[in-house]
Amino acid sequence: MSYKEAIEEFNSEDENGKSRLVYAYFGLAIYFAQCLEQTFINMIWLDRVFKKRVKFQNEVNEIIDAVENSRKTMGALIHEVKTEYSLPGNLETDLKKLLDTRNYLAHKFFKEQIQKFETELGQKEMLKYFCDFVDDSKGVDNELNNYYYHYTQKLGLTEERIIELMEELKEEEIERVKTLSSKK
pLDDT of residue 159: 76
Residue 96: per-residue pLDDT = 95
Instruction: Output the pTM of the full model.
Output: 0.83
- Residues in the chain where the model's pLDDT stays below 70: 1
- Return the pLDDT at 81: 92
With helix as H, strand as E and coil as C, how does the chain read? CCHHHHHHHHHCCCHHHHHHHHHHHHHHHHHHHHHHHHHHHHHHHHHHHHHCCCCCHHHHHHHHHHHHCCCCCHHHHHHHHHHHHCCCHHHHHHHHHHHHHHHHHHHCHHHHHHHHHHCHHHHHHHHHHHHHHHHHHHHHHHHHHHHHHHHHHHCCCCHHHHHHHHHHHHHHHHHHHHHHHHHC
